């Protein structure tokens, strides 16, 4: 067997965000958020695209969004590369999901809690070895909860998970192991297959269940992730060399930014066809933060017109 890698956006959405994934997502969220307890009984998987309702508000692209049976929204993002200001992006998406629940005339009492679950293939927080971290609003000195603790940030740092297959102790371990290793496995481990939802996740992740178009999309995203990682490494090295020669920090950022622009151009050409000179010029004029946002949005575009609209909204 060959399995798609859940750390790739398309694969993660296919496994956890498809129409047939409700039971998989319930099991996964109970394992990660509630230590395996059956707190979530049902949920509805929603469109993860957060369209702006207010002029000037940024678009947001998430991997999975769900409404739980108790009215809580859960947004999930799988992130492979540690990009600039990623922590701020997580907080922005959580706050935006919370704020955009209300339309004109609705009451604040109608706001429902939001949990932002972020899975990273890099370390977010140094100084401790906890794989899962939960952040909520606390009073600084007494550490008491805020009156309405409606926004919770949960992080799963995959590099901190060191357990091997024979060391898995509970369903939380098994789901994290699934995310981290499925792309390298050639069979379903027996200890994992005992959980029906994980067995079903493996069936969805089996490459033979994908169409040719889905396999092509997955391959493009894998190439993009690999190229992006290489461009970051090359850009850092070129920037360090230029920075040493010129005696200034800007060299490192410039080298990385140039490599990133080149990668984005290649990926967009693969996905949408040849870019016209105007779009290329507008991409080259983006700031480093705007380029990071474009990297996150690339696979949400289905044509050049959508890309052009994105550039209009995000290059102000």
| Final residue of a structural domain among 149, 174, 209 | 209
The pLDDT, as a whole number, for residue 103 is 81
- Give the domain-ending residue among 174, 209, 244: 209
Same structural domain, 41 and 133: yes
235 and 204 co-located in one domain: no
CA dihedral 67, 71, 72, 77 (to 10 degrees): 10
Same domain, 91 and 77: yes
**Taking a C-beta distance cutoff of 8 angstroms, is the pair 73, 67 a contact?**
yes
Query: pLDDT (tens digit, 9 = 90+) per residue, 146-165?
Result: 988 999 999 999 999 999 99
pTM of the model: 0.75
Q: 277 with 241, same domain?
A: yes
Our CA dihedral for 81, 84, 90, 92, rounded to 10 degrees, sits at: -150
What distances in angstroms separate CA 118 from CA 46, 153, 223, one per listed residue?
17, 8, 22
- If you ran DSSP here, which 8-state letter would residue 149 be given? -
159: left (phi over 0), alpha (psi -120 to 50) or beta: alpha
- 1 located within any domain: no
Domain stops at, among 209, 227, 250: 209
Is the domain of 163 the same as that of 17?
yes
- pLDDT at res. 304: 83
| Nearest residue to 8 (alpha-carbon basis) of 302, 301, 299 | 299
Whether 71 contacts 84, CB under 8 Å:
no
Q: Give the model's pLDDT for residue 252.
A: 58
pLDDT beneath 70: ranges in the chain: 49-61, 224-256, 299-300, 315-316
Residues spanned by the domain of 135: 9-209
Q: Are both 230 and 175 inside the same structural domain? A: no
Examine residue 2 and state whether it is found in any structural domain, yes or no: no
Task: With respect to residue 3, please indicate whether it lies within any of the assigned structural domains.
Answer: no
Q: Is 133 helix (H, G, I), strand (E, B) or coil?
A: strand
């Amino acid at each position: 067997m060959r399995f798609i890698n859940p750390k790739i956006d398309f694969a993660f959405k296919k496994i956890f965000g498809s129409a047939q994934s409700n039971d998989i997502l319930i099991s996964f969220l109970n394992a990660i958020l509630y230590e395996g307890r059956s707190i979530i009984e049902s949920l509805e998987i929603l469109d993860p695209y957060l369209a702006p309702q207010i002029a000037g508000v940024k678009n947001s692209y998430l991997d999975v969004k769900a409404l739980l049976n108790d009215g809580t929204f859960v947004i999930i993002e799988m992130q492979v590369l540690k990009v600039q200001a990623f922590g701020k992006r997580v907080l922005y998406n959580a706050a935006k999901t919370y704020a955009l629940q209300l339309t004109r005339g609705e009451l604040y009492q109608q706001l429902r809690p939001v949990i932002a679950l972020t899975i990273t293939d890099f370390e977010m927080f140094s100084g401790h070895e906890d794989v899962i971290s939960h952040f909520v609003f606390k009073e600084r000195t007494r550490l008491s909860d805020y009156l309405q603790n409606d926004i919770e940030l949960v992080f799963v740092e995959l590099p901190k998970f060191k357990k091997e297959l024979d060391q898995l102790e509970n369903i939380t371990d098994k789901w994290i192991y699934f995310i981290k290793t499925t792309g390298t496995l050639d069979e379903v481990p027996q200890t994992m297959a005992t959980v029906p939802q994980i067995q079903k996740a493996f069936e969805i992740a089996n490459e033979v269940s994908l169409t040719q178009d889905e396999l092509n999309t997955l391959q493009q995203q894998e190439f993009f992730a690999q190229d992006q990682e290489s461009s970051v490494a090359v850009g850092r090295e070129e920037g360090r060399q230029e920075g040493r020669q010129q005696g200034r920090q800007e060299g490192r950022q410039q080298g990385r930014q140039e490599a990133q622009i080149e990668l984005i151009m290649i990926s967009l050409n693969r996905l949408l066809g040849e870019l016209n000179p105007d779009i290329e010029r507008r991409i080259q004029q983006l700031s480093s933060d705007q380029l990071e946002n474009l990297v996150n949005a690339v696979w949400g575009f289905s044509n050049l017109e959508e890309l052009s609209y994105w550039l209009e909204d995000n290059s102000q």
